[in-house]
Structure 1
């Protein structure tokens, strides 16, 4: 499973535990057999449930175990459900019992994020499955589709879902419909295009709909026209019920799009280099748009001066119907504090205040968002304890706090927090973080009171599922070797985009091997595109440390025409070069990709293996 698909895997795990529903339709009980008496809720403790089951006759034990396993799944106890089901012998079951056992076992395995085992289960019982009615087979096909998606095989998962859809009941069709759309939104652009070439029937209809909906460069008028053509071509397609909402939102977005955009960026003052990178990104997206449609008129204003409100008013007087900027946080706050604003405004930073004007929006590259995404990833992998290591200072404190708050809101525990300074003391900080000295002292103390040979090899603490490391490349090159030296080479280390310079330096970055990090697609993907070719022709040397701001400029330009769509259609997303963009409380939220350092090179994260132990530790393997 790739990290960039981890969000989908988490959704799938939650859905299959909850009974295959991403919404809240009337719940369908998996195990229903008229002759099976209700045995009530299972004991709270798994050991007590197994003891009671051991005293029952075979048929009663099977019926009770199936009912209790389903109850445990409802309580998000996939591991306990698996234990009860593993105690049963499917060979002595009736057909209905065996169907329920297969379905519940698969749900439990996926709930515990073990897709390979679920696929193996379905394969081993294929002869039994073929004997069931079509609707039952289709429900097990959905289980297979969930497992394939969790492994990252999105195209095969789509094929299974689309084939099974006509055979499902209403509730399962609702679930399947939602999951098909989730998969289509997750599928990389190149895979989506390849899948269209090799598809037909309903699957081709789904894929072409997703492609035209997701196109971030397409002119809105052209997109509306193409969607109407799709509706005419696919009148009986299962997705036709979605099209009216999408079409309505696109038509309104086309009507609401700006014709004159004022762009407030600093060309003087301390932020002028950042402003220049943003402007070049904006103009690159503008010229790309000009090849496909009719872009708005752009007018740039220097926001480096002190009087931002006068500049803002001047832009409005000049006829702007959309304002992009400013970049500085204090200047964005000054505009937001005006209350009602005359035109929609997208600030290029985030401000810390409530009660924003209804047409004031925010977009930026906040490291706090990256920290929160890392916390969510750790929770999806099943970790419950984490450590934090961050540089001294207000900035490090703020980002570490964002991680800690998100992690604790997900039920995680912070076992250790340390700050560090670059230099000769950093190794001692890492050693203290890992409690290596204490483990050695305890071993030596015990050895004094026994004649037995004692292993007093120092060890690191074992109460961290992973370490959240906040560090730039130079700091990371000191921290990771220190972790390796102090017996923590196997400790997963997750970091923000700060640790990735964006420049290839294999000799120096060998010291970062194994560190996983979030970063924008622009910094990790080598996907060939017209936009990438235009950029490399114009700026073959790149933008150095301002490369991410250049990419932000590309997405900032795209957002001026898509902001209405994101703010009015809850499920709407924009596949941007800075991440998958969505809207939350007037704030653009980015979901980033994952990378890992392998042999000194930063790569988009390859396959991740799951040993299947209780801690669900992961091991990165190069492809």
Structure 2
């Protein structure tokens, strides 16, 4: 009879789980591999099974003893991968009947459940301050590990590293590699100014700082690593640093040109000559600032792939920049010079880290989808829970790609509304329909008919649930859409911000644009420095008559590619390092150069750089 009652009790708990437990939130990408929470068991000696704990709860003489046993049952069910049953027990517990001791385990079980559902902010809230309340090392380790993962999700990488270092003190199998997977994301701004007192943490602090220092002077990196090894001879990361130095020595060919020759593969003739020359101008401008490198340009339009490869092999360069065209990149991704750092100036459609051998290649592209992604992240942070963005775009393949990237990157509460127009005559109708004016006019007409001769308010009212409007079109499209939007916003409604892309910024409105007043757009930093009054940019444009800002963006890309090829190893190994380039703030994630753009606006007829720039980054996303 007792067993029958026990099974009924378990069945009730399981059924409750099916009706009461919430589902996991939408998955987002993380900057490092997510924890496998289901593999994080406590591995305690003499541990009971969940059924044993449920027996104890059934036989308990009072509510306090019963609840204590149920908490342990919930933890054990999690170890047994029975997450829903565990959640059902936790949801029915009376916290007022928990002792201080039982409350610790209750918080841990709740934290594990939130981690299982990837609700990292809740993990952080429920577990913060809990590790020091445990005496058993198994519980300390697990709680610290969960807190570290939660901090990583909040992009608090230094705090995550502190918790991971502490967790490994209680681990039987410490892993410096695991610690580096967090340490490599620590940015310069996150790193404390003062060296930590703890020797192990101080070693990680110095190693991270060395990478950031080397961004200023890449040639000093080997010396910095030597000094680190001498300063921290017993640090657990010693083997890691030795492996880096060995890999660097193997990549450095003895017969490599001592003049640090850089081979540049560009289309310097033919259909794409202007684009190739613009990139070349930027590369020459960067190298002219220093005499440490020699450039050799190879015309990819004039030579076959085999001839290009033969030329590069003869040069034995210290680095390769290019090619520029996607077709040429496809030929080169499997080339044999895998030990030579190479910055491809384009990105393949389905580019993955395996697209090129080893870790000596980067893919650097000025793709418009990047602007759509950053606009979505920027607008997500400003969106309220009751509003949603509106996207107005042309019904073309390129615009649709922008819209899809925007939607995929949206992290707000309400999904974006999208309205596509096929031709110029459809724009006004698309704006009025999207903003609700068509429906408002119909309602006014119905009221007038019902009211007869009674005078009613005829002012149409636009929608109140729009948080912002995104226009991913070119300058001509934005010039037509912006006035329609301005006159369609109800005078009773709050002002709606309108966002665009760099396509709305051309040489004709480099210093400002009255017709686009209020438009906020993303742009290559070099093109909006000094509010558009960049002397060097204007001198370059004067020297290249007929060229515009599209070529200037390519010149900025060429300029930054030199820095990238010289810092490739550092940036590849540590995504937390950043390069403040002409084309944006750059960092590298899985061989892809990520580019943070500048935000500017047309205000009072002038170009203005926004004082507060978005901290839009990947939620990696990784």
**Structure 1 pair 332–28 and aligned structure 2 pair: CA distance change class (3 A):** closer
Corresponding residue number in structure 2 for 1:164 = 166
Q: Any conservation in 2 of the 1:69–1:82 contact (CA below 8 Å)?
A: no
- Once the two structures are superposed, residues 282-335 of structure 1 have per-residue CA deviations (whole angstroms, 9 ceiling, x without a partner) of 235435665xxx54x3113455x65565973784486354653343445556x5
Cα drift, residue 39 of structure 1:
10
Superposed, 1:98-177 pairs within 5 Å as: 98-105=103-110, 115=121, 131-133=133-135, 135=137, 157=159, 160-161=162-163, 164-165=166-167, 167-169=169-171, 177=179
Matched, 1:312 2:308: yes
**Structure 1 pair 352–61 and aligned structure 2 pair: CA distance change class (3 A):** same
CA distance in structure 1 between the partners assigned to 2:44 and 2:481 by the alignment? 52
- Once the two structures are superposed, residues 500-547 of structure 1 have per-residue CA deviations (whole angstroms, 9 ceiling, x without a partner) of 77967597765235x7x5x66777999xxxxxxxxx896686875545
Matched, 1:551 2:540: no
- Once the two structures are superposed, residues 85-135 of structure 1 have per-residue CA deviations (whole angstroms, 9 ceiling, x without a partner) of 6875544313343123334556777878785x7777678xx6x87654385
Corresponding residue number in structure 1 for 2:596 = 592
**Higher alpha-carbon Rg:** 2
Cα drift, residue 233 of structure 1:
1.2
**Structure 1 pair 429–199 and aligned structure 2 pair: CA distance change class (3 A):** same
Matched, 1:210 2:208: yes
Gaps of 5+ in 1: 1-7, 16-20, 42-55, 527-535, 609-623
Corresponding residue number in structure 1 for 2:15 = none
CA distance in structure 2 between the partners assigned to 1:468 and 1:67 by the alignment? 51
Cα drift, residue 390 of structure 1:
2.3
Q: Any conservation in 2 of the 1:162–1:202 contact (CA below 8 Å)?
A: no
CA distance in structure 1 between the partners assigned to 2:516 and 2:113 by the alignment? 40
Partner SS, residue 578 of structure 2: strand
Matched, 1:11 2:30: yes
Corresponding residue number in structure 2 for 1:229 = 227
Partner SS, residue 473 of structure 2: coil
**Structure 1 pair 506–238 and aligned structure 2 pair: CA distance change class (3 A):** farther
Moved more, 200-209 or 30-39: 30-39
CA distance in structure 1 between the partners assigned to 2:45 and 2:432 by the alignment? 56
- Once the two structures are superposed, residues 410-450 of structure 1 have per-residue CA deviations (whole angstroms, 9 ceiling, x without a partner) of 9x998754334796753421232355534775798799999
Corresponding residue number in structure 2 for 1:366 = 367
Q: 2:613 aligns with which of 596, 605, 614?
A: 605
**Structure 1 pair 67–286 and aligned structure 2 pair: CA distance change class (3 A):** farther
Q: Any conservation in 2 of the 1:165–1:176 contact (CA below 8 Å)?
A: no
Q: 2:295 aligns with which of 289, 295, 298?
A: 298
Superposed, 1:432-447 pairs within 5 Å as: 432-434=433-435, 436-438=437-439, 441=442
Q: Any conservation in 2 of the 1:325–1:348 contact (CA below 8 Å)?
A: yes
Q: Any conservation in 2 of the 1:581–1:589 contact (CA below 8 Å)?
A: yes
CA distance in structure 2 between the partners assigned to 1:310 and 1:197 by the alignment? 53
Gaps of 5+ in 2: 1-26, 55-61, 542-548, 617-622
Matched, 1:391 2:394: yes
Corresponding residue number in structure 2 for 1:511 = 518
- Per the normalisation by structure 1, the TM-score is 0.62
Q: Any conservation in 2 of the 1:390–1:396 contact (CA below 8 Å)?
A: yes
Superposed, 1:4-43 pairs within 5 Å as: 11=30, 22=35, 26-28=39-41, 37-38=50-51
Q: Any conservation in 1 of the 2:262–2:296 contact (CA below 8 Å)?
A: yes
Matched, 1:181 2:183: yes
**Structure 1 pair 241–447 and aligned structure 2 pair: CA distance change class (3 A):** farther
Corresponding residue number in structure 2 for 1:327 = 324
Partner SS, residue 242 of structure 1: helix
Partner SS, residue 298 of structure 1: strand
CA distance in structure 2 between the partners assigned to 1:500 and 1:40 by the alignment? 67
**Structure 1 pair 39–417 and aligned structure 2 pair: CA distance change class (3 A):** farther
Aligned residues: 541
**Structure 1 pair 326–490 and aligned structure 2 pair: CA distance change class (3 A):** same
Q: Considering only aligned residues, what root-mean-square deviation do their CA atoms show, in Å? A: 6.2
- Once the two structures are superposed, residues 572-596 of structure 1 have per-residue CA deviations (whole angstroms, 9 ceiling, x without a partner) of 7863434544475xx6342536858
CA distance in structure 2 between the partners assigned to 1:580 and 1:553 by the alignment? 13
**Structure 1 pair 556–175 and aligned structure 2 pair: CA distance change class (3 A):** closer
Corresponding residue number in structure 2 for 1:349 = 346
Superposed, 1:46-125 pairs within 5 Å as: 90-105=95-110, 115=121
CA distance in structure 2 between the partners assigned to 1:525 and 1:139 by the alignment? 49
Partner SS, residue 205 of structure 1: helix
Cα drift, residue 395 of structure 1:
3.2
Partner SS, residue 283 of structure 2: helix
Corresponding residue number in structure 2 for 1:260 = 261
Corresponding residue number in structure 2 for 1:5 = none
Corresponding residue number in structure 2 for 1:3 = none
